[in-house]
């Protein structure tokens, strides 16, 4: 698991701008969606890795705990799958064109629909009521990448919890774009995985300072359960 402590500069900036550290501590569980980004074999199983991130395996228990808490308190879980298909060579030629031929072949083979690499990592607890979403860019929220924003809006979700891998690529891109589309956005510090501590820490500190909120799994579950209890008491 990554070693992470929010740097003081980020805390100071947040307190100056917002007046409190966790701007989304009053999260409404009923309008909250857990977004699990790219926790697929292609990032977590070395022999079929398009881009291997070993720490991603270590966050699986936290993702499962958080998914259970989101379901229990009235929210929903969305599993996002990075997908490279026949159209990607044209539709996202800029990205694929920056790779060596060997890297490109490996990525295409291990993120293609039907491949082992494209499958969700087997230790993750996907339930029948969850939704699985294909995405075709780093961000699940950028135009043309997926229909996730439309699904969320149609179902009444205005808050998203971002987990998955890689923290500073697909997770950060998704989180920033979600905030730009006016979703309340929280990155979960111990349920995101990068290749190094430095990349993890840079993303989370910048995200807290400017874009949204950062919480760990236990604090987030506490807030979900406390706010769900308040809702029940008020009914």
Q: Mean pLDDT score of the chain, rounded to an integer? A: 95
pLDDT at residue 234 is higher than 80: no
Record: fold of 10-234:
Rossmann fold (3.40.50)
Q: Where are the domains of the chain?
A: 10-234
Radius of gyration of the chain from its Cα atoms, rounded to whole angstroms: 17
Q: pLDDT digit string (tens) for 126-180?
A: 999 999 999 999 999 999 899 999 999 999 999 999 999 999 999 999 999 999 9
**DSSP secondary structure letter of residue 233:** H
Chain center to CA of 81: 11
Work out the pLDDT band at 232, boundaries 50, 70, 90.
Answer: confident
Q: Which of 5-19, 90-104, 157-171 has the lowest mean pLDDT?
A: 90-104
Alpha-carbon span 227 to 30, nearest angstrom? 10
Contacts of 9 (CB under 8 A, 6+ apart): 205, 209
Instruction: Give the predicted TM-score (pTM) of the model.
Output: 0.96
pLDDT at 198: 95
pLDDT tens per residue, range 52-72: 999 999 999 999 999 999 999
Region of residue 156 (left: phi > 0; alpha: psi -120 to 50; beta: else): left
Q: Over range 108-129, report the average pLDDT.
A: 96
Cβ(200)–Cβ(164) under 8 Å? no
**pLDDT for 88:** 87
């Amino acid at each position: 698991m990554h070693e992470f402590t929010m740097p003081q500069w980020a805390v100071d900036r947040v307190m100056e701008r917002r007046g409190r550290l966790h701007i989304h501590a009053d999260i409404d569980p009923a309008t909250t969606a857990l977004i699990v980004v790219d926790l697929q074999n292609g990032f977590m199983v070395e022999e079929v890795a398009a881009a291997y991130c070993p720490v991603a395996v270590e966050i699986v228990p936290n993702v499962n705990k958080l998914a259970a808490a989101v379901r229990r308190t009235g929210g929903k879980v969305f599993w996002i799958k990075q997908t490279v298909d026949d159209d990607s060579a044209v539709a996202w030629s800029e990205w694929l064109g920056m790779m060596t031929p060997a890297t490109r072949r490996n990525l295409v083979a291990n993120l293609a629909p039907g491949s082992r690499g494209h499958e969700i990592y087997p230790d993750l607890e996907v339930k029948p009521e969850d939704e699985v979403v294909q995405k075709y860019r780093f961000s699940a929220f950028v135009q043309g990448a997926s229909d996730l924003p439309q699904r969320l809006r149609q179902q009444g979700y205005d808050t998203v919890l971002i987990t998955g891998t890689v923290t500073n690529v697909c997770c950060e891109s998704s989180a920033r774009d979600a905030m730009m589309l006016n979703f309340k956005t929280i990155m979960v510090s111990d349920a995101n995985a990068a290749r190094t501590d430095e990349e993890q820490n840079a993303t989370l500190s910048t995200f807290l300072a400017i874009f949204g909120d950062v919480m760990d799994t236990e604090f987030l579950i506490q807030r979900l359960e406390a706010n769900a209890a308040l809702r029940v008491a008020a009914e």
